[in-house]
Amino acid sequence: MTVEPYRSPTLQARRAQMFPVLADEDIARLRRFGAARRYADGECLFETGKTSPGMFVVLSGVLRITGRDGHGHDLLIAELSAGGFSGEIGQLSGRRALADGVAAGAVEALLVVPEQLRALLVAEADLGEEIMRALILRRVGLIEMGAGGPVLIGAPSSPDMARLRSFLTRNGIPHLVFDPANDPDAHGFIERYAPRPEDMPLVACPDGSVLRNPAENELARCIGMLDAADAERVHDVAVVGAGPAGLATAVYAASEGLSVLVIDARAFGGQAGASARIENYLGFPTGISGQALAGRAYTQAQKFGARMLIPAEAVRLDCGRPEERDPLALELAGARSVRSRTVVVATGARYRRPDCADLKALEGRGVWYWASPIEAKTCAGQEVALVGGGNSAGQAAVFLAGHVAK
Ligand SMILES: Cc1cc2nc3c(=O)[nH]c(=O)nc-3n(C[C@H](O)[C@H](O)[C@H](O)COP(=O)(O)OP(=O)(O)OC[C@H]3O[C@@H](n4cnc5c(N)ncnc54)[C@H](O)[C@@H]3O)c2cc1C
């Protein structure tokens, strides 16, 4: 008997869309995008935490997909037979795998590498829609399971836990949180690593490394978010900021065939990503959550080949090029730089801060500039003061009212 890996009824109901079976004529259409290969029983086609070679379309045999539950157990996600295909949205940009794929018996499969996968999605629109929908839903499923990403160990209410969770959630990275107060495995883990209080939370990454209260960019590097960095490459367009403006730029530039690099200091979606519900965005008559809107734009940009470098902060634009044809140099924090023929600055707004002493020290530790479900959980049952009178404050008041005491 197969155990249903998803809790949410929505995902359970959409299982057929998550794991569609391609017809023979569909497979014939996508053969030109891949190369057929044979795999022996037990052979690993892709492994959690390691760069996946691409999407596998099963031609014969069974490909078993499992996720990891953070306690050392495998969870069966799917068994793909002829017409099934592997992958989730990270395959568009050649990211590290969030699940394991092992041949159960002899398997023949078509390997479609990321560049060819993007070409397929654009060239075969109807087939591409079916595949894209499945890849997106699978990432949603992995986020729900927490499979394939880092495991955060520490008190769920600690500010640093909230900081790291917010970073991972805003970037659509699956993760798990284990509280040593009620999880014996987490307790044992802490005894083994004997962290000082300031080392908490600990983060166990899929590659086996353990980080102690990491900064966001340290965590990002460990889980492969910064794999897109390539100092040698000259892009046509570098976009600073992955808010709605930056992502729209990326979609249009990349869909016109330009090579695009998007850089954001924190997460895709910008301010809009923090919005509980956006009612006035063109094309969404029933409204859409900011995170869902941003996720769609982020995926759409990658479908056209835009590369994402997040988190990376642009600190200086060097326009002093010796020749007019030379690329511009965009310096990033951490003594890195990228080169591009054009730079679009879409860095949005800075928050106006109230004039309070020591406010900076309390940011992320009781003072927030938005109210997402993570902040709502942190403030649950407490009294909250909201500063501001614009529509964001109104939206936050309505949202928080359902979670806080007053
Ligand atoms: C809670 C909330 C709810 C909202 N709801 C609505 C709504 O319902 N309807 C509506 O129309 N508007 C709404 N807004 C406003 C809307 O989200 C913004 O107008 C919109 O996001 C602006 O888009 P942008 O891309 O210009 O900038 P931003 O969204 O601000 O994005 C800028 C991005 O640039 C990045 N960045 C900044 N500096 C650097 C740097 N040096 N290096 C790298 N990256 C950098 C930031 O991290 C950020 O991701 C809301 C805003 C908030 C905060």
Residue nearest to atom 11 of ligand 1 (CA): 280
What does the pLDDT read at residue 326? 83
ipTM: 0.98
In whole angstroms, what is the distance from residue 287 CA to residue 312 CA?
Answer: 30
In whole angstroms, what is the distance from residue 377 CA to residue 156 CA?
Answer: 9
Strand-pairing partners, residue 60, are 108
What does the pLDDT read at residue 1? 46
CA 181 to ligand 1 centroid distance, Å: 37
**Tokens for 212?**
């102690």
In whole angstroms, what is the distance from residue 102 CA to residue 56 CA?
Answer: 11
In whole angstroms, what is the distance from residue 51 CA to residue 363 CA?
Answer: 35
In whole angstroms, what is the distance from residue 130 CA to residue 22 CA?
Answer: 9
CA 213 to ligand 1 centroid distance, Å: 27
In the chain, which residues have pLDDT < 50? 1
Domains and CATH numbers, the chain: 9-145 (2.60.120.10), 151-222 (3.40.30.10), 234-345 (3.50.50.60), 359-401 (no CATH)
**Tokens for 285?**
């008559």
Do residues 88 and 172 touch, judged by C-beta distance below 8 A? no
In whole angstroms, what is the distance from residue 248 CA to residue 19 CA?
Answer: 30
Q: Read off the DSSP letter of residue 96.
A: B
Question: What are the start-end ranges of the H helices in 100-183?
Answer: 114-123, 125-145, 159-170
Residues with CB under 6 A from ligand 1: 240-246, 263-266, 270-272, 274-275, 278-280, 313-314, 346-349, 370, 392, 395
Residue 404, judged by CB atoms within 10 A of its CB (0-12, 13-18, 19+), counts as middle
What does the pLDDT read at residue 351? 77
CA 278 to ligand 1 centroid distance, Å: 12
| Residues across the chain | 406
Torsion of CA 246, 173, 367, 242, to 10 degrees: 0
CA 401 to ligand 1 centroid distance, Å: 24
Spatial strand order of the sheet with 151-153 comes to 176-178, 151-153, 202-204, 210-212
In ligand 1, the atom with minimum distance to the C-alpha of 244 is 25
In whole angstroms, what is the distance from residue 77 CA to residue 63 CA?
Answer: 11
What does the pLDDT read at residue 259? 96
CA 275 to ligand 1 centroid distance, Å: 10
What does the pLDDT read at residue 261? 96
Give the model confidence (pLDDT) of 102-117 as tens digits: 999 999 999 999 999 9
**E-assigned strand segments in 200-313:** 202-204, 210-212, 234-240, 260-263, 307-309
Which residue from 243, 251, 291 is spatially nearest to 271, judged by alpha carbons?
243
Residue 244 preceded by cis peptide, ω within 30: no
Pocket test for ligand 1, best of 271, 343, 350 (most atoms within 8 A of CB): 271
What does the pLDDT read at residue 213? 96
Sorted by sequence, the CB contacts under 8 Å of residue 102 that are 6+ apart come out as 42, 43, 44, 45, 63, 64, 66
